[in-house]
Amino acid sequence: MVRDSQSKSTKVVGVLALQGAFSSHTRVLDSIGVSTQEVRTPQNLASIDALVMPGGESTTMSQLLESSELFEPIKKLIHEGLPVFGTCAGMILLANKIIDGRDDQVSFGAIEIEVQRNAYGRQIDSFEADISVEVFESPFHAVFIRAPRIVKADKAVEILAKFGDDIVLAQQKNVLVASFHPELSPDRRIHEMFVKEI
Ligand code: GLN
């Protein structure tokens, strides 16, 4: 059957909607023809084929993940291979190790990176930069907001883009992370790349 190019894909991308910039991700996914499901309860996980974890405040999201009883089922799904994409605070939630986190802050330990929260200092705690992404022909304009820095990455982690010496876009198996906010740029290429892998 020939699909109408305007019709939505049959895959559903969940967007963790506990706190933060989730609606911008939903808008971007919608604009590239992907069906979305906001995830607030364990029941919402039943229908998703992938999950986006947005930027926001990772300490708050960590608390809400536990109080909503989403933490354990999401952890299990990631372990089973669910494609996930974490941006900024979402990247912190997926990391193996968090520096300068709250003592009770949890993370999924889904990608072997060590991240330092709010690591770009006061002067440039928010900034924009053109970064070159391995697989793109032209630079991607990236928006960094109180961004975490990847201070260490295992060699199993694939580096997709750097800003100076810092890795800012990386992947390990089913886990994609960005220290910036691709949902705030008009450029859809990173979301398209994620969706293609589902
Ligand atoms: N500094 C935030 C945190 O630790 C992340 C910032 C963001 O997502 N824009 O959660």
Nearest ligand 1 atom, CA 55: 8
* Contact indicator for 163, 172 with CB cutoff of 8 Å: no
Parse the chain into domains and list their residue ranges: 12-196
pLDDT, tens digit (0-9, with 9 covering 90-100), for 86-131: 999 999 999 999 999 999 999 999 999 999 999 987 667 899 999 9
Nearest CA to ligand 1 atom 2: 57
> pTM to 2 decimals?
0.94
Q: Which residues are catalytic?
A: 88, 181, 183
Nearest ligand 1 atom, CA 117: 4
Residue 6 pLDDT greater than 70, yes or no: no
Q: Which CATH class is domain 12-196?
A: alpha beta
